[in-house]
Amino acid sequence: MKEERILYLECYSGISGDMTVGALLDLGIDCDKVKRALDSLGVEGYHLHFGRQKKCGIDAFDFDVHLEDGQAAGQDHGDCGHDHDHDHSHGHGHTHDHSHDHAHGHVHRNLFDILQIIERLQAPERAKELARQMFQIVAEAESKAHGLPVEEVHFHEVGAVDSIVDIVATAVCVDLLDVDKVIVSPLHEGRGYVTCQHGTMPVPVPATANIVAAHHLQMILTDNQGEMVTPTGAAIAAALHCGEELPEGYRIEKIGLGAGKKDFANANILRAMLLVATAAERRMVKLETNLDDCTGEAMGFAMELLLEAGAADVWYQPIFMKKNRPAYMLSVLCGEDQIEDMEDIIFRHTTTIGIRRYPVERTVLPREIRDVETPWGMAQVKVCQRKEGEAVYPEYRCVSEICRKEGLPFGEVYRALMNCFQEKKK
């Protein structure tokens, strides 16, 4: 089974756009790739800063967007829900575009304008879709906060140049990491109030609170004074979080730290970790049900669907039930996150009305699939690691295809693939 790669965002100091980009870049992503992607947007009037700073003695990546007029993005222009309330004395407010536009005659940006900019992004479609999703989340939150239709919302927090950069850079970084899922910890938020052009607002500000509520994010209040979770940060968490908890066991491949700008009693950083959960580390579940009135065709079809849906194993055992009826017990081995899908298949395609469930543990050897050159073309073998060395097993599918095509005995082809693998190692 393929190892599962997880991106984990640990938000014990909250989350904002610049902290997220900094943490992801600190995982080793090429800054030039991100910069080239941002350049493709055609947005002008800013330059990027990549550096490092210490927060409570911890070295972290410092990512900033600076406007060309000489002030850093995010200085307080009097709006609400600024990212600078979280972590910028100078570097992250998503308000400057609103007031900045007043001063320079620029057109305010609504969601349509933002989506047009994202469309120019030279990056895979999944990066563009993730960026669109993040802006959509904020637009809906602002719509609710201000009582306006989504299409009439002009972005105070995320219409700014630095906000476009933060969200698009986050989407590009996540795409480059190519992980299977993203897990986000509960969002730690501060207390108190922020002052903006609408007056004094409690923390979390309305847009952030709306995102947390709409997307069922967990929030934990701390004793820190001030905003720790920004609307942009909340939107990133909502768009990325898969809704799952960390696996019980995993190994850490890389750690990235993104620095905030404010100073709290705790280190104001966002920690991003690349984790690998192998099949051996996944909590498994065994599903069971007894079938005494189900046809063999239906049971065979259900088995096919369960395996196609990702069950680790499926099998039937002959049993006797009440009234001495001959029957079969269906057993399915799957991950905890697959229970609902597996049970749906069993209920829909068999006659059962009840399914038993047991937690199970198993030991699984690390394994990988390798290509080998054979007289009949490329084939694959499964290589498992044992204490005493490797164990090699030709893939059944490859052996059977060669047998059918060439008219050869199974054992002969199986041994040939083993020999080809050994020759390749020499």
Three-class DSSP labels, the chain: CCCEEEEEEECECEECHHHHHHHHHCCCCCHHHHHHHHHCCCCCCEEEEEEEEEECCEEEEEEEEEECCCCECCCCCCCCCCCHHHHCCCCCCCCHHHHHHHHHCCCCCEHHHHHHHHHCCCCCHHHHHHHHHHHHHHHHHHHHHHCCCHHHCECCCCCCHHHHHHHHHHHHHHHHHCCCEEEECCEEEEECEEEECCEEEECCCHHHHHHHHHCCCCEEEEEEECCCECHHHHHHHHHHCCCCCCCCCCEEEEEEEEECCCCCCCCCEEEEEEEEECHHHCCEEEEEEEECCCCHHHHHHHHHHHHHCCCCEEEEEEEECHHHCEEEEEEEEEEHHHHHHHHHHHHHHCCCCCCEEEEECCCCCCEEEEEEEECCEEEEEEEEEECCEEEEEECHHHHHHHHHHHCCCHHHHHHHHHHHHHHHHC
Q: Across residues 349-372, what is the average pLDDT? A: 88
pLDDT tens, residue by residue, 138-185: 999 988 988 989 888 876 544 478 789 999 999 999 999 999 899 999
Amino acid in the structure at residue 103: A
Confidence of residue 48 (pLDDT cuts 50, 70, 90): very high
pLDDT for 361: 81
Computed over every residue of the chain, the mean pLDDT equals 85
Distance CA 3, CA 249 (A): 12
Q: Across residues 384-406, what is the average pLDDT? A: 88
Distance CA 153, CA 200 (A): 21
**CA end-to-end distance (rounded Å), the chain:** 27
pLDDT for 79: 39
pLDDT for 95: 32
Cα distances from 346 to residues 299, 322, 334, 341, in angstroms, run 9, 21, 13, 9
From 231, 298, 216, 228, select the one nearest 261 (Cα to Cα).
228
pLDDT beyond 60 at 64 = yes
pLDDT beyond 70 at 333 = yes
Note if the pTM is more than 0.85. no
Distance CA 25, CA 255 (A): 10
pLDDT tens, residue by residue, 132-150: 999 999 999 988 988 989 8
Burial of 301 (0-12, 13-18, 19+ CB in 10 A): middle
Is the CB of residue 355 less than 8 Å from the CB of residue 346? yes
**Bridge partners for 326 per DSSP:** 320
